[in-house]
A and B are shown apart, each in its own frame.
Chain A
Amino acid sequence: MPTLNDYLVLSAILFAIGTAGVFVRRNLITILLSIEIMLNAVNLSFVAFGRSLGTADGQIIVFFVMTVAAAEAAVGLAIVIGLFRHRESLNPDTFTSLKW
């Protein structure tokens, strides 16, 4: 039977993979996808803790995290569309000057 520790280690691995994606990848959409991986890792540890403490609060917080992630993905992608229209590029290194 998996213990709480197993779930936490898995969540940490996923979170680290997400962070690595944000640091290493040079494509805006992949960076946003890595942020979603991080949010999911956090969701997993919330549900695991909620289960181990015997309350339903973990699941409710996951509900809110999912909603916030949806809102953030929508606005983030709208920004990416706007940036792409301006510079025709998805590489964050092309957006280094503060001048539009």
Chain B
Amino acid sequence: MTLFYLFGAVAVIASLLVIAQRNPIYSVLLLIASFGALSGLYVLLDAPFVAVTQIIVYAGAIMVLFLFVVMLLNAPHEETEHDEKVHPLRRPGPMRLGAVLAAALVVELIWALSRGTSETGAFGEAAVSSVRALGRSLFTEYAFAFEVTSVLILVAMVGAVVLAKRDPRAHS
């Protein structure tokens, strides 16, 4: 139980700091810390494959991509300083509404969930969590989704290359 609180606290605090940080590089690094904590939670939930995949895919690949983009764009955080220096609830117009809505969402979710459900019992025995069973299920029941996902990644790869390419005509 202490492990659950530890990982949960790290995940929540890191996520809060992600959205509160000015420097985008620190945001990315804090998000990696949050992913590490979530990976620990997956291990507690008897899902070691998902835990390791989270590190490999999310913390090891997607966040590297974010870091590259932040470094290459030399993301200026001075420009947004003026808007972001003021506390969210005191900003003009639509931004204040956004902050109020976010706070309302937090309060509402926690209220709804803490009303207690019938699922207050502990978990049963461990589900089948071997990689072999996952693979078998992935290639039989979910085979169509698997193939569609591979096409999706191909499309995303081509799209990202095309979108990020410099237009050769723009340098005239």
Contacts and interface: CB of A to CB of B under 8 A. Distances in A.
Answer yes or no: A and B touching, Cβ < 8 Å: yes
Interface of A: 1-10, 12-21, 23-27, 29-30, 32-34, 36-37, 40, 43-44, 47-48, 50-60, 62-64, 66-75, 77-82, 84-85, 89-91, 93
Interface in B95-109: 95, 98-99, 101-103, 105-106, 109
Contacts of A73: 62, 65-66
B119 A47 contact: no
Nearest to A51: B45
B81 to A, nearest CB: 10
Contacts of B27: 29-30, 33
Q: How large is the interface on B (under 10, 10 to 19, 20 to 34, 35 or more residues)?
A: 35 or more
B4 A56 contact: no
9 interchain residue pairs of minimum CB distance: A20-B102, A71-B156, A21-B19, A23-B98, A78-B163, A16-B106, A78-B160, A78-B164, A12-B109
A contacts with B: majority SS = helix
Interface of B: 1, 4, 8, 11-12, 15-16, 18-19, 21, 24, 27-28, 31, 34-35, 38, 41-42, 44-47, 49-50, 53-54, 57-58, 61-62, 65-66, 69-70, 72-73, 75-77, 79-80, 83-84, 88, 95, 98-99, 101-103, 105-106, 109-110, 113-114, 116-117, 119-129, 133-134, 137-138, 142, 145, 149, 152-153, 155-157, 159-164, 166
Contacts of A79: 163
A54 B127 contact: yes
Given A3-B121, A18-B15, A81-B73, A91 B152 contact: no
Contact of B106 (A1, A13, A52, A71): A13
